[in-house]
A and B are shown apart, each in its own frame.
Chain A
Amino acid sequence: MDLLKFTFELSTEKSSIAHRYNIKFHFSGNLDLLSEPVTNAAKELMAKTANYSKFVFTFCIAYTSTDEMVHAVQVACKERQSEMRELKGIAGDYEPEKPVKVVDIEKHMYMAIAPDLDIVVRSAGENRLSNFLLWQMANIDLYSTPTLWPEMNFWHLVLAVLDYQRNHSYLEKKKKLL
């Protein structure tokens, strides 16, 4: 945790990579699970880089996809409950039934800030998603490379993009069916 806090504080400094390259930092996950100093450091980094728009770096921390779904469902249900209470106040005992929809859940996902996914790159030759971005991966190119994460470089990214381009027309066709 100390290392995380140190990294976030380092990124907040004016000479850091975030300010040099106009990178907006965003942290997705249940930040309440982190210790208070780390949460504060993360929030400060988000606040200091909020106005940047050239690149957006989303860091998933204290995150699992199933927790993300439950959290989104929870917020959507609380929102619906508030709406029902307001309408009851206006219209007496009338409580209209308005089901929670997929779009209501999606707007409350931790990753709602990010645009639609195109590629997921999995390193170390593994073939599983490990509870990461499961909701967002319906028609996405899952690229698996045997290269270990610390060894990944520009050319590995190029290969991932080329693989995506090979399947692009098929994946676009599938997305339109949704």
Chain B
Amino acid sequence: MDFKKEVRIVCGWIAYFGDLLLRLLWHLVHVIISLFYFTLGIANALESYLISWGVLKRYRSLHVNKLRYLAIVVESEEAYETSKIIALLQWLADIGVKHVCLYDMEGILKKSKDFILAKVDGAVLYGETHENNKLLDQTHMTLEFASFCDGKEAVAKAANVLFMKYVKSGATDQNQKGHIFTESQMSEALKTIGSGGPEPDLLLVYGPARCHLGFPAWRIRYTEIVHMGPLKSMKYGSLIKAIHKFTRVQQNYGK
């Protein structure tokens, strides 16, 4: 009986140390991966400085007209850094980007909307540009502000708009076979409730992870999503590189 008890104790210790060893191995693997990403970060930072100084020839010409609509997702904690946001928008204006959507999950940017519009030269709120005033569109940057409530909740509101129209039309299940709503009707309903902005061509994510943090799902069907790292370490060269890479992407389907 004592021998069996001792065997159990020894097995317990082996399992404990085995588990500890595996955990140490797991941490070691993650340290190696973090070192890899750190080294990659330094290389990317160096490249971005070379791009900013105009050393790398291939980034000197940028066909920015291919970028019709740009979206920027910012981590909500960093969205309070309005000076960084304004600097980023000024860079985009200098590059020639005309239409930008700013998104953060909690709506911090929406609350700072007036301040940002006042500080960015020539910026106007999306939706306030008039179709007839094309000159305004050419010289001004339009800014759209979005948050999490423009995503799933907006789709639910649009669903209710479609539902009320459907009920008022008097249509019944017997009259309608198959689909009663179409994607274009959904797009119209989203526009009706004010969440029907255009689909961005490129979405830049400023945050710790490559995750769009709930940007309206309806609008990112074929959007290129690029992770730019934290906003506090944003670089002009990285922005140029992301836009340059986008202009060279080939999409075969969907557009």
A34 CB → nearest B CB, Å: 15
B106: nearest chain-A partner, CB-CB: A177
Task: Indicate whether A23 reaches chain B with its CB closer than 8 angstroms.
Answer: no
B214: nearest chain-A partner, CB-CB: A138
Task: Indicate whether B152 reaches chain A with its CB closer than 8 angstroms.
Answer: yes
Of the candidates B160, B167, B209, the one whose C-beta lies within 8 Å of that of A171 is B209
Binary contact track A115-153/B, C-beta < 8 Å → 1, others 0 = 000000000000111110011011111111000000000
A69 to B155, Cβ gap below 8 A? yes
Q: Chain B interface: which of A9-17, A41-49, A75-83?
A: A75-83
Which A residues are in CB contact (< 8 Å) with B210? 141-144, 167
B171: nearest chain-A partner, CB-CB: A81
B186 to A135, Cβ gap below 8 A? no
A65 to B160, Cβ gap below 8 A? no
**Cα separation A64 to B218 with both chains bound (whole Å):** 11
B225 to A166, Cβ gap below 8 A? no
A131 to B224, Cβ gap below 8 A? no
Task: Indicate whether B217 reaches chain A with its CB closer than 8 angstroms.
Answer: yes
Of the candidates A77, A143, A166, A167, the one whose C-beta lies within 8 Å of that of B163 is A77
Which A residues are in CB contact (< 8 Å) with B45? none
Which A residues are in CB contact (< 8 Å) with B63? none
Which A residues are in CB contact (< 8 Å) with B105? 174, 177
B156 to A105, Cβ gap below 8 A? yes
Q: Chain A interface: which of B4-12, B125-133, B175-183?
A: B175-183
Q: Give chain B interface residues in 181-231, CB to chain A under 8 Å.
A: 181-183, 186, 208-214, 217-218, 220-227
How many residues of chain A are within 8 Å of chain B by beta carbon?
47
**Cα separation A139 to B211 with both chains bound (whole Å):** 6
B201: nearest chain-A partner, CB-CB: A128
A65 to B221, Cβ gap below 8 A? yes
B156 to A102, Cβ gap below 8 A? yes
B179: nearest chain-A partner, CB-CB: A74
Of the candidates B180, B182, B208, the one whose C-beta lies within 8 Å of that of A167 is B208
A66 to B221, Cβ gap below 8 A? yes
**Cα separation A18 to B180 with both chains bound (whole Å):** 37
Task: Indicate whether B94 reaches chain A with its CB closer than 8 angstroms.
Answer: no
**Cα separation A64 to B220 with both chains bound (whole Å):** 12
Q: Chain B contact residues (Cβ within 8 angstroms of A): what range?
A: 35 or more
Of the candidates B180, B211, B223, the one whose C-beta lies within 8 Å of that of A174 is B211
A103: nearest chain-B partner, CB-CB: B156
B217 to A135, Cβ gap below 8 A? yes
**Cα separation A176 to B58 with both chains bound (whole Å):** 43
B34: nearest chain-A partner, CB-CB: A166
Which B residues are in CB contact (< 8 Å) with A140? 211
A104 CB → nearest B CB, Å: 8
Task: Indicate whether B234 reaches chain A with its CB closer than 8 angstroms.
Answer: no
Which B residues are in CB contact (< 8 Å) with A102? 152-153, 155-156
A164: nearest chain-B partner, CB-CB: B209
Task: Indicate whether B86 reaches chain A with its CB closer than 8 angstroms.
Answer: no
- A selection of 23 A-B contacts at a CB cut-off of 8 Å is A69-B186, A70-B179, A70-B182, A70-B183, A73-B158, A73-B186, A77-B163, A81-B173, A104-B156, A105-B156, A129-B225, A130-B253, A130-B254, A131-B254, A134-B218, A137-B217, A138-B148, A139-B213, A162-B30, A162-B33, A163-B33, A165-B30, A174-B105
Residues of chain B whose beta carbon lies under 8 Å from any beta carbon of chain A: 29-30, 33-34, 105-106, 148, 151-153, 155-156, 158-160, 162-163, 166-167, 173, 178-183, 186, 208-214, 217-218, 220-227, 249, 251, 253-254
Given contacts A129-B220, A142-B212, 14 further A-B contacts (CB under 8 A): A65-B217, A66-B218, A66-B221, A73-B155, A73-B162, A74-B179, A100-B156, A102-B153, A102-B156, A105-B159, A127-B224, A128-B251, A131-B222, A135-B152
